[in-house]
Amino acid sequence: MSQTLRNLPDHKGYFGEYGGRFVPDTLIEPLAELERAYAEIKDTPAFQNELNGLLKNFVGRETPLYFAERLTRETGGAKIYLKREDLTHTGAHKINNAVGQILLARHMGKRRIIAETGAGQHGVATAAAAAKMGMTCRVYMGAEDMKRQTPNVFRMRLLGAEVVGVESGSATLKDAVSEAMRDWVTNIHDTYYLLGSALGPHPYPMIVRDFHKVIGAEARAQIMTAENRLPDEVVACLGGGSNAIGIFHEFLDDADVALTAVEAGGTEIAPGHHAARFSGGRAGIFQGMKTFVLQSGEGQIQLTDSISAGLDYAGVGPEHANLMQLGRAKYLYVHDSAALEGFQKLAHFEGIIPALESSHAMAYGLRRAAEMSKNKIILINLSGRGDKDLSIVMEALNVKN
């Protein structure tokens, strides 16, 4: 089973029954062109050398694998290791994909980059990559997300990007994706849509996954050096699914390594109050793909809610829907309140301030480590750092300036 899992998607872009390409006619040929361009360059030495050079010197890879010694002692169970994607340039894993796709854009002769963003991390990463390449960049962002992630809006603008607020729907990530797709359809001749998570129509879930596989490949080698064995469990937070699939992919063949993704449980698992697609959603077609979607009985997309903008999305990458269906990975959620506790614990015990997204993985990871025996190892993907979230946390904790 696992051998085939690592080889997915199939030639039509399906991970089992999920994925595919559900788009208007006008996007069929551009997506096919993107697929051809990617296939053409991805394994060439010239592309690989340039990508690896950027990952090393611009992004700052490889990122450390960090043994959280005090947290391990505090929780009293499994050894806790953190993969430090928070230490990458621009502060989150998103930059791995941004530099990969910007090279693809240049190869395709496109000089205008558009992107969507939720928490702003993908927007910042794309703006930075576009600045480096001397390309123009426009980022669509839900108006609600612009309010709660103001520092990232300013960072994108400093990096030369135009940030366009989207007022429709819930004014969050799904609305930004829709707006970016509309722009792409209109300006296809000179525009590259640099999609920010492992979702959307084929080939995006595959391309974004491929550019994040470096997380798991490094972590696997690093844990072998540190412990001379693989971890017992790998944990990541789950928005669209890119950091999770990035760290999971290298371990898919290792049946003894449990894989756990953590969704946003918001305030409660009731329509409109969370973003746990695998706890409240069902299969449907959404933003170009077949996947798990939060929807009403009539198929209307539900509003979502989470303290973390990056997890606040009604759909999820199709590769995860397949891994869930096959039982190869587990999909759980934690509530906002638990994520806030995870956020504070990591700061207190290790001197690291995580992103609120990553704090969901921390919250579950710490609870799980406590249940595991001391000879076990748990590896948590620390997808990003928390500078962007300080005002949200101050408000949530009712801290006065």
Tell me the catalytic residues: 94, 116, 383
Q: Which of 30, 77, 118, 231 binds ligand PLP (CB under 6 A)?
A: 118
- Tell the smallest beta-carbon distance from residue 310 to ligand PLP (Å): 3
Residue 30 in the binding site for ligand PLP (CB under 6 A):
no
- Binding footprint of ligand PLP, residue count (CB under 6 A): 21
Nearer to ligand PLP by C-beta: 79 or 204?
Answer: 204
Binding to ligand PLP, residues 367-386 (CB under 6 A): 383-384
Distance (Å, whole) CA 85 – CA 83: 6
- Six-digit token pair at 343? 């956020």
Contact positions with ligand PLP (CB under 6 A) in 122-161: 122
Sequence-ordered list of residues with C-beta below 8 angstroms from that of 292, at least 6 positions apart, any chain: 18, 277, 278, 281, 282, 283, 284, 315, 316, 320, 321, 324
Nearest to 35 by CA among 269, 207, 195: 207
Between 161 and 355, whose beta carbon lies closer to ligand PLP? Answer: 355
Question: Does 243 participate in binding ligand PLP (rule CB under 6 A)?
Answer: yes
Using CB under 6 A, pick the residue from 357, 362, 380, 393 that binds ligand PLP. 357
Stretch that binds ligand PLP, among 13-21, 115-123, 272-280, 330-338 (CB under 6 A): 115-123
Which position among 239, 265, 318, 342 is part of the footprint of ligand PLP (CB under 6 A)?
239
One-letter amino acid at 22 equals: F
The H helix count followed by the E strand count for the chain is: 16, 14
Q: Does 119 interact with ligand PLP (rule: CB under 6 A)?
A: yes
Given candidates 19, 216, 231, 240, which one binds ligand PLP under the rule CB under 6 A?
240
Q: CA 341, 347, 350, 353 torsion: positive or negative?
A: positive
Asked whether position 389 contacts ligand PLP by CB under 6 A, the answer is no
166, 144 Cβ separation under 8 angstroms: no
Answer for which of 34, 68, 92, 128 binds ligand PLP (CB under 6 A) is 92
Contacts of range 179-188, beta carbons closer than 8 Å, 24 or more positions apart? 179/116, 179/140, 180/114, 180/115, 180/116, 180/140, 181/23, 181/27, 181/287, 181/288, 183/114, 183/138, 183/140, 184/27, 184/30, 184/114, 185/24, 185/26, 185/27, 187/112, 187/114, 188/26, 188/30
Considering the rule CB under 6 A, would residue 355 count as an interface residue with ligand PLP? yes
Are 85 and 66 spatial neighbours (Cβ–Cβ below 8 Å)?
no
Q: How far is the CB of 279 from ligand PLP (least distance, A)?
A: 16
Binding piece for ligand PLP, criterion CB under 6 A, among 15-23, 128-136, 235-243, 275-283: 235-243
Q: Which residues pair with 379 in a beta bridge?
A: 81, 234
Which of 6-14, 108-116, 237-245, 325-333 is the region at the interface with ligand PLP (rule: CB under 6 A)? 237-245
Residues that bind ligand PLP (CB under 6 A): 92, 118-119, 121-122, 197, 237-244, 310-311, 355, 357-358, 383-384
